[in-house]
Amino acid sequence: MTVSLEITVEEHRCVASGQCAMTAPEVFDQRDEDGVVILLDARPPTTAHDGVRAAVALCPAAAIRVAKRG
């Protein structure tokens, strides 16, 4: 059985550091006007899981949540 990740972000907590977008650009981006996180893929492929985990660890505001599914 393949484990998938389900990602959510709390935009109101985001401090626009950009660590997530730099670490996992296929999953996260930032708004141009204020740098707040944009979630591009709430259920990324397994090839992106390591980057997502790193982004969670690097987020200074703890604005990213990850749940395992399956």
User: 22 — phi, psi (to 5°)?
Assistant: -75, -30
Question: What is d(CA 68, CA 61) in angstroms, rounded to the nearest whole number?
Answer: 21
- What pLDDT is stored for residue 1 in this prediction? 60
Domain ranges of the chain: 4-69
The answer to whether the CB of 56 falls within 8 A of the CB of 48 is no
Which listed CATH number (3.40.50.1820, 3.50.50.60, 3.30.70.20, 2.40.170.20) goes with 4-69? 3.30.70.20
- Is pLDDT above 80 for 70? no
- Is pLDDT above 70 for 56? yes
Q: Which two tokens stand for residue 35?
A: 């740098």
pLDDT, tens only, 1-43:
678 999 999 999 999 999 999 999 999 999 999 999 999 999 9
pTM of the full predicted structure? Answer: 0.93
- Is pLDDT above 90 for 49? yes
Question: Going by DSSP bridges, is the β-strand pair 28-30/4-9 parallel, antiparallel, or unpaired?
Answer: unpaired
